[in-house]
């Protein structure tokens, strides 16, 4: 409280009147800071809108200027979105970079590309001739296109070894959306999807002298079919249907 009073005593009367509701020295400092920054925000917005690469300016130099303005927006508590910065970078390059901008746009249109990816790509120009870097960017584009087309990603279990539509977690009921069977790995392990024919998982056990009650079924969690020794449990029974069984 003493620090707050000391700070308030150093303020002009017009500013002091705006600090009556402040509870601590830190709150007062934050209030003064935001007040000092507020007049600069319209100026910074105009600076960002007018931002363009100078004739003869290197990519590294221009990238540094862009990121400096982006950082100032962040400090003022009004950060620019990645999409805004990406658009600014791709549309404000000078004519020697026209072809490079086209290639960069094609790369950034690929899935999951971020501002950091674009910054990294722009950083490859360095001191190399623009034509050389454009050639390297085209190679990168082909590699990325191939990688993105082959990339698998499951948003349910956060793994790269299968796609979400093939994930056993995609149906919480445990029913395969390909063949309709329950149990197993659902779509990812579906034999209909792979072979065009359903396979059945059966549990075979020896129970000795154990006696099954009339209403008892033999159930196993990963088997696709369950059994009962009592025919009367079935309303209909197709004895012509046969399916392959494998020893596992």
C-beta atoms surrounding 27 within 10 Å: 13
Percent of the chain with pLDDT over 90: 17
Determine the Cα–Cα distance for residues 226 and 216; give it in Å rounded to an integer.
11
Position 15 scores a pLDDT of 64
131 versus 183: the higher-pLDDT residue is 131
How many residues are present in the chain? 248
C-beta atoms surrounding 187 within 10 Å: 22
Determine the Cα–Cα distance for residues 128 and 243; give it in Å rounded to an integer.
66
Task: Name the most confidently modeled range: 71-85, 141-155, 204-218.
Answer: 71-85
236 alpha-carbon distance from chain centroid: 50
Determine the Cα–Cα distance for residues 99 and 92; give it in Å rounded to an integer.
13
- For the residues 112-124, what does the mean pLDDT come to? 88
Specify whether the CB–CB gap between 16 and 28 falls below 8 A: no
Q: Is the pLDDT of residue 60 over 50?
A: yes
The packing angle between helices 98-108 and 115-122, to 10°, is 150
User: What is the average pLDDT value for the chain, to the nearest integer?
Assistant: 73
Q: Is the pLDDT of residue 84 over 80?
A: yes
Q: How would you write the chain as a 3-class SS string?
A: CHHHHHHHHCCCHHHHHHHCCCCCHHHHHHHHHHHHHCCHHHHHHHHHHCCCCCCCCCHHHHHHHHHHHHHHHHHCCCCCCHHHHHHHHHHCCCHHHHHHHHHHHHHHCCCCCCHHHHHHHHCCCCCCCHHHHHHHHHHHHHHHHHHHHHCCCECCCCECCCCHHHCHHHCCCCECCCCCCECCCHHHHCHHHHHCCCCCCCCCCCCCCCCCCCCCCECCCCCCCCECCCHHHCCCCCCCCCCCCCCC
Determine the Cα–Cα distance for residues 55 and 218; give it in Å rounded to an integer.
80
Predicted confidence band of residue 184 (pLDDT cuts 50, 70, 90): very low
Per domain, the residue ranges of the chain are 39-150
Position 144 scores a pLDDT of 80
Q: Is the pLDDT of residue 75 over 60?
A: yes
Position 64 scores a pLDDT of 92
C-beta atoms surrounding 241 within 10 Å: 6
- In the structure encoding, which two tokens stand for residue 9, read together? 């005593």
Percent of the chain with pLDDT over 70: 52
Q: Is the pLDDT of residue 180 over 60?
A: no
Predicted confidence band of residue 74 (pLDDT cuts 50, 70, 90): confident
């Amino acid at each position: 409280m003493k620090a707050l009073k000391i700070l308030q005593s150093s303020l002009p009367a017009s500013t002091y009147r705006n600090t009556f509701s402040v509870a601590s020295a830190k709150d007062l400092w934050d209030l003064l800071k935001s007040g000092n920054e507020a007049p600069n925000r319209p100026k910074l917005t105009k600076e960002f809108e007018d931002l363009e690469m100078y004739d003869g300016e290197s990519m590294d130099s221009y990238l540094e200027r862009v990121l400096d303005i982006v950082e100032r927006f962040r400090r003022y508590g009004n950060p620019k979105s990645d999409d805004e910065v990406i658009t600014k970078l791709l549309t404000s390059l000078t004519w020697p970079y026209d072809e490079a901008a086209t290639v960069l746009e094609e790369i950034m249109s690929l899935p999951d590309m971020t501002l950091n990816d674009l910054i990294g790509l722009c950083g490859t120009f360095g001191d190399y001739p623009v034509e050389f870097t454009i050639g390297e960017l085209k190679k990168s584009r082909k590699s990325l296109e191939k990688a993105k087309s082959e990339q698998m990603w499951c948003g349910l279990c956060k793994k790269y070894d299968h796609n979400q539509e093939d994930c056993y977690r995609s149906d919480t009921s445990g029913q395969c959306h390909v063949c309709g069977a329950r149990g197993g790995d659902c779509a990812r392990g579906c034999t209909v999807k792979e072979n065009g024919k359903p396979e059945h998982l059966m549990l075979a056990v020896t129970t000795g002298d154990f006696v099954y009650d009339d209403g008892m079924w033999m159930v196993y969690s990963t088997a696709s079919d369950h059994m009962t020794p009592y025919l009367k449990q079935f309303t209909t029974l197709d004895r012509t249907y046969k399916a392959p069984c494998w020893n596992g």
